[in-house]
Amino acid sequence: MPKVLVMNAGSSSHKLSLFSDKIENARSALWKAHIEWGKKNPSYTLKNGSQESNPIYLQTTSVKQGIQEVIEKLWIGDFAVIKGVHEIEWIGHRVVHGGSLFHQPVLINASVKKDISNLSSLAPLHNPINLEGIELLEKIFPSIPHFAVFDTAFHRTMREEIKTYPIPYEWREKGIERYGFHGISHSYCAKQIKKWIKPQETPFKLINCHLGNGASLCAIQDGFSIDTTMGFTPMEGLMMGTRSGSIDPGILIYCLRNKNLSLEELDHLLNFESGLKGIGGTSDMREIHAFKNKQSQLALDMYIYRLKTGIGAMTASLGGIDALCFTGGIGENDSYLRKKTCEELAYLGIQLDLQKNQGGNQDREISLRDSPVKVFVIHTQEEWMIAKSCLECLT
């Protein structure tokens, strides 16, 4: 049976999933691997059906060698599900920034790779990693089609007044606009929540919170992106693991003029040394909770404050809210953060069921039955969405 392998390269992890060409649902992966690079000793876990490994430490800190090591587990060892590379017929890759060039999945060729590389300055934490993954898998699987699926594509439905920044219009004509990111995840959650909601006569207004090392909100009306917090690059918007999110641009001018920072130093500080890490000393929300000191508490308070004000802004864009969804590593697993955020948004009609909020690894509604605004936890399945997009391209 033909199979599709999906590579989802993030800013701090790589996820690999294998699917058959008959994808029944988002839980139908034949095999999964999750590599985490954020720790001193990178590790990965494997899943094969109901069987899941404990963390396995990589024998290398090299991304290329680490991915090669993990991919070989597809056909070597206790978690093997295929006999060799010949059983895989297509590869799907998540690419974060497609700019104004890519609004749908594309077959990867030299020209597409050049465009992805040229867009790397707009997503320096992501596009180079995405391209590295593409080129590595092309060496392992040289004779089969590779497809790119873009995070920015979902947001192509945003209106001009939302996409356009209040800067000289000539900049807009040169492609400086709000693109938005996490589109694969936002689209997946919108599709899943649609199954939970009874049909209504008025437009359905959802705010999706993708909270991981990177974080963004999306205002979604009837399945279409209306507004989002990330913009021209994945640095805008919410406070994140290592990224600042939105700050006063005057701070940047001040630092360049008065603090003798180079552009490269400023870029590094904003992308790699800010956010939770800059304030609380770590980009890992679990460690922020565990540290229990003044700076970690400040980092947590700031994160929740910026999250709730962002949700308020998305509510204004939609003209109301019917449902709120939490997804991503933090959104799916941090019950305290969900509780605090929802408590501070009670004025919108959000009523959380504390018991439902606490338990369970499954997708679920966590609001009270009579809550005017429904609240959900959805475990995002970006790899499944990418696999579906690849198969749709082929058919």
Say if residue 278 is in the same domain as residue 376. Answer: yes
Q: Tokens representing 271?
A: 């992308």
Mean pLDDT of 155-163: 97
Q: Which residues are annotated as a binding site?
A: 8, 15, 94, 210-214, 284-286, 329-333, 382
pLDDT digits (tens, 9 = 90+) for 353-386: 999 999 778 999 999 999 999 999 999 999 999 9
Per residue in 278-333, pLDDT tens? Answer: 999 999 999 999 998 999 999 999 999 999 999 999 999 999 999 999 999 999 99
- Residue 11 confidence (pLDDT): 67
In a 3-state reduction of DSSP, which class is residue 286? Answer: helix
Residues that constitute the known binding site for ATP:
15, 210-214, 284-286, 329-333
Assign 24 a pLDDT band (cuts: 50, 70, 90): low
Contact 218, 208 (CB under 8 A): yes
Q: Rounded to whole angstroms, how far apart are CA atoms 229 and 179?
A: 10
Same domain membership, residue 372 and residue 228: yes
User: Span 125-137, mean pLDDT?
Assistant: 90
Q: What is the pLDDT of residue 40?
A: 74
C-alpha–C-alpha distance, residues 131 and 117, integer Å: 7
Answer yes or no: is 77 within a domain.
yes
Instruction: Name which of 2, 76, 37 is nearest 284 in CA terms.
Output: 37
Q: Phi/psi of residue 16, each to 5°?
A: -125, 135
Q: State the pLDDT at residue 26.
A: 58
Whether 158 maps to a domain, the answer reads no
If asked whether residues 350 and 229 sit together in one domain, one would say yes
What is the C-alpha separation between 73 and 69, in angstroms, rounded? 7
Q: What is the pLDDT of residue 31?
A: 95
Q: Tell me which of 151, 227, 322, 363 is the catalytic residue.
A: 151
Same domain, 205 and 144: no
Pair (361, 219) in one structural domain: yes
Q: What is the pLDDT of residues 29-61, one digit of tens each?
A: 899 999 988 777 899 999 998 889 999 999 888
Domain extent at residue 208: 197-382
* CATH assignment of the domain containing 100: 3.30.420.40
Rounded to an integer, the average pLDDT of 136-165 is 95
> pLDDT at residue 349 above 70?
yes
E-only strand ranges, the chain: 3-9, 13-20, 31-36, 43-48, 51-52, 56-57, 88-95, 106-107, 146-150, 205-211, 215-221, 224-228, 323-327, 364-365, 374-377
Band of residue 123 on the pLDDT scale cut at 50, 70, 90: confident
Which pLDDT belongs to residue 44?
94
Domain count for the chain: 2
Residue 173 domain flag: no
Q: Is 222 a catalytic site residue?
A: no
Stated pTM of the model? 0.91
- Residue 182 in any domain: the answer is no
Residue 207 pairs in a beta bridge with 219, 324
Residues 216 and 108 placed together within one structural domain of the fold: no
Binding site membership for substrate: which residues?
Answer: 94
**Mean pLDDT score, 119-142:** 90
Arithmetic mean of pLDDT over the chain: 93
Residues 230 and 290 in one domain: yes
First-to-last alpha carbon distance for the chain, in angstroms, is 16
The answer to whether position 56 is within a domain reads yes
Lowest mean per-residue pLDDT among 23-32, 144-153, 312-321: 23-32
pLDDT grade for 137, boundaries at 50, 70 and 90:
very high
347 and 170 in contact (C-beta within 8 Å)? no
Rg (CA), the chain: 21
Instruction: Report the pLDDT value the prediction gives residue 25, as an integer from 0 to 100.
Output: 67
Residue 311 lies in a domain: yes
185 found inside a domain: no
pLDDT for residue 27: 67
The whole-number pLDDT of residue 393 equals: 82
β-pair partners for 43: 36, 57
Q: Are residues 207 and 265 in the same domain?
A: yes
What pLDDT shows up at residue 180? 96
Q: Say whether both 130 and 220 belong to one domain.
A: no
pLDDT exceeds cutoff 90 at 217:
yes
**Cα of 242 vs its chain's centroid, Å:** 14
What pLDDT sits at residue 62?
85
Lowest mean pLDDT among 78-87, 121-130, 214-223: 121-130
The pLDDT-based confidence of 121 (bands split at 50, 70, 90) is confident
pLDDT score for 64: 85
Residue 144 inside a domain? The answer is: yes
Quote the DSSP letter at residue 145.
-
**Average pLDDT for 94-121:** 94
Q: 137 with 265, same domain? A: no
